[in-house]
Amino acid sequence: MKAQAKSSESLLHGGSTPTRAEITKSLDDGLFELIGEHRHEQVSLWYEPECGYRGVVAIHNTTLGPALGGTRMWTYENDLEALVDVLRLSRGMTYKAAVAGLNLGGGKSVIIGDPNSKNREAIFRAHGRHVDSMAGRYITAEDVGTSPSDMEFVSRETKHVVGLAGRSGDPSPVTALGVYRGMQACAKALWGSDSLAGKTVTVQGVGHVGYYLCKHLHEEGATLVVSDIDNEKVKTVVDEFGASGVTADGIYAVDADIFAPCALGAVINDNTLKVLNVEIVAGAANNQLEDERHGDVLHEKGVLYAPDYAINAGGLINVNAEVEGWDLERSHKKASEIYDTILKVIQLATDENIPTYRAADRLAEARIVEATAKKKA
């Protein structure tokens, strides 16, 4: 495991030079234990104060191939929260690639700052220099708060970026297709038919992925109830797909068949589990479980959970097409295979009487162990 910083000014102390006492406190609080908890190979901190760039890149595992994961730009409450987020997200990417059968490792990056910042070229070119310092061990793409046009700025400083305009482009449609197919697999396992016609689906977050998911569900005849912090996005889905809109907090208490979290993570938690009244949780958001024990609670309640990194791998499949030279048809075919992946996860969970998130972990870890053994042979 390696850690590096371009600047002596620490990201973990609000951008100011830390005192000896502050450094000691960070160590006492288990900073390096946090980084080492899931055996991350490398965590890199990079700061360019002249443009306001503050970025963290986390490479979790490269056994199966170079780490690929998007760049998230977000306003975090503090820098430690950003570090925790990138560590969780990068680990999820390792498992996502492994379960999806891709020859990729897991990585992720976050830029700490306002996702609506106008100073994009300077910030993202700085990020490109950061990515380039990894020498191909990490490949980035767009994510929450970033776009293909931002990745164009990144590409001026490094070749290790995918999801560019004119290539694989926006991964949202492929992500949505995979989530839709995974949702059908859950229906098949639970109700004996993969038809979603007549089912009530609550969709939390109707940005790009949520919008395309709603489109698939509407075309099949599902009843949609949606929420988003952006009222205009809700209005679009209500107008185009006949959905009903509810408040951001109200979405959890809606009596429905399926809950599809398609916004940020940690939405399955102690508070939401008290009011959630669905039979299936299947959505596009990363890190939907605030803690693993919440997956255990879903299992105990008899709620079928489609592990997030297994069902939302369509976006990774989309950008992997650039790495492998696939056309769009092949990407869509691979994303549709998420149906079979989710059925395999559910079958293992049923056979072993374990929560589905543990079953997905076992499948991912088995592939990584097999690859490790082949390398050593």
**Active-site amino acid positions:** 108
Report the DSSP pairing between strands 200-204 and 258-261.
parallel
Direct distance between the N- and C-terminal alpha carbons of the chain, in angstroms, rounded to an integer: 23
Under 8 Å between Cβ of 334 and 345: no
**Hey, is 3 helix, strand or coil?**
strand
Q: Residue 153 corresponds to which tokens in the numbers above?
A: 């700025």
**95 alpha-carbon distance from chain centroid:** 11
Q: How far apart are CA 363 and CA 360, in angstroms?
A: 5
Q: Please state, in angstroms and rounded to a whole number, the distance separating the CA atoms of residues 127 and 142.
A: 12
DSSP 186-245: HHHHHHS----TT-EEEEE--SHHHHHHHHHHHHHT-EEEEE-S-HHHHHHHHHHH--EE
The answer to whether residues 71 and 157 touch, using CB atoms and an 8 Å cutoff, is no
Tokens of residue 104, six digits: 């990729």
C-alpha torsion sign, points 87, 91, 92, 93:
positive
CA atoms of 233 and 211, how far apart (whole Å): 8
Burial class (CB in 10 A: 0-12, 13-18, 19+), 197: exposed
Q: How many residues does the chain have?
A: 377
**Tokens 């016609």, residue?**
197
DSSP letters spanning 40-104: -SEEEEEEETTTTEEEEEEEEE-SSSSEE--EEEE--SSHHHHHHHHHHHHHHHHHHHHHHT-S-
Which residues have a Cβ under 8 Å from the Cβ of 27 and sit 6 or more positions away?
A: none
Strands 223-227 and 244-245: parallel
